Amino acid sequence: MSSTIASPSSATGSAPVTGQGTDRPVALTSRAPHVPADRLVAEMVPPPRFDTVRFDNYIPDPNQPSQTEAVKLLSGFADGLGDSAAGGRKRWFRSRPAAAAGPRGIYLDGGYGVGKTHLLASLWHATPAPPERKAFGTFVELTNLVGALGFQQTVRTLSGHKLLCIDEFELDDPGDTVLVSTLLGKLVDAGVALAATSNTLPGKLGEGRFAAADFLREIQGLSAHFRPLRIDGEDYRHRGLPQAPAPYDDATVERVAHTTQGASLDGFPALLDHLSKVHPSRYGAMCDGVRAVCLTGVEPVPDQSTALRLVVLADRLYDREVPVLASGRPFDELFSEEMLKGGYRKKYFRAISRLTALARDGKPLTEG
């Protein structure tokens, strides 16, 4: 019997997605959604996983004083955005003349799993401005917005904002470097405050991925917009938690898929192939209404392009708190040793960390 799987948030403006009932799980490989530009703009808010995060419920590691210091500095940053000064300058930057005001933003640098996205979303929530004057999105979502709206319209759309938060800030090619450098420069000129997270210091963006030296001016221009704030620590997603469950057999994964309302079921190789045919900006919409992702035959990804697409999917599933059950190889064997030593290694380690957390979330589904 068929049923309707509702989209996770009415704020997206997307229509409900029709899937199958518990006897027939939906297949992600059957979905190639169209995402209108107005949805991309409306969705520039913290994802569902971070709806309730605040500075007060961030739990600093007592052995890492930089985490406590980050909460204090970001709280002050948010408070400073509450008062506007002449020319759109905010109190946080008011101590020096506009021409020498220095960085217009905060850049949270640290390893995966130290709570950078929690802090970034907390800053968004704490900034005293209506949601339509604050924007939050990943670096990929920001570049997708430019692609959907065009550069000038994106500048006009975001220039009226008080704050732009950019999660997972990474430069993967020279085109993105020039695009984002120009965009952020114009937004800073318009008085927009910036905040970003990354695993790479601003001056090191692009290293190991393309000839960063050829675009040094743009990279240095990006770095000048931010005050780096280092956050040390170990991955909180696995701090003090039991080991992730080992992969299940195919029969268990298929049973859970058929008995869990809103679950999806796909063969892993077929899903990887499907991701190559859907733009990464649509991966979030592809997961609308999916309450568990079931995968059979997980195996190491064959190449870097496929690996990077899988990273984006892992991020969207993590944002939406969608548990994952899988058969085949464990998630820490997805990426080759060469990949884990290359320029995208931090993305791959983030994906492993997030998929492992989602696999832990999925274990209770096998016990029903």
DSSP string, 242-308: PPPPPPB-HHHHHHHHHHSTTEEEEEHHHHHHHHTTS-GGGHHHHTTT--EEEEEEE---SSHHHHH
Q: What is the pLDDT of residues 104-162, one digit of tens each?
A: 788 888 877 788 999 999 999 999 999 999 999 988 888 889 988 999 999 999 999 99
Name which of 156-170, 221-235, 323-337 the model is least confident about. 221-235
230 pLDDT band (50/70/90 cuts)? confident
Q: Tokens 């809103």 appear where?
A: 262
What is the pTM for the complete model shown?
A: 0.76
What percent of the chain has a predicted confidence (pLDDT) above 90? 52
What is each CA distance from 125 to 16, 55, 78, 304, 368, in whole angstroms?
A: 27, 9, 9, 35, 36
Q: What is the pLDDT of residue 217?
A: 56
| Non-local CB neighbours of 266 within 8 Å, separated by 6+ positions | 27, 28, 29, 274, 293, 294, 295, 296
Q: Which of 263, 324, 250 is nearest to 22 (CA)?
A: 263
298 pLDDT band (50/70/90 cuts)? very high
Residues carrying CATH 3.40.50.300, the chain = 62-233
Name which of 89-93, 94-98, 292-296 the model is least confident about. 94-98
Classify 242 in phi/psi space as left (phi over 0), alpha (psi -120 to 50) or beta: beta
The CATH class for the domain spanning 2-35+241-367 reads alpha beta
Whole-number average pLDDT of the chain:
82
Task: Tell me the C-alpha distance between 368 and 366, whole Å.
Answer: 6
Q: Which of 266, 243, 260 is nearest to 368 (CA)?
A: 260
Q: Report how many helices (DSSP H) and strands (DSSP E) the chain contains, helices first.
A: 13, 10
3-state secondary structure of 84: strand
pLDDT at position 85 over 70: no
Q: What is the pLDDT of residue 83?
A: 56
Q: What is the pLDDT of residue 208?
A: 47
Q: Which superfamily, per CATH, for 62-233?
A: P-loop containing nucleotide triphosphate hydrolases (3.40.50.300)
C-alpha triplet 331, 333, 337: angle, nearest 5°: 140
Point out which residues pair with 185 in neighbouring strands: none
Residue 258, token pair as written in the block: 């058929």
Q: What is the pLDDT of residue 225?
A: 81
Q: What is the pLDDT of residues 43-64, one digit of tens each?
A: 899 988 899 999 999 999 899 9
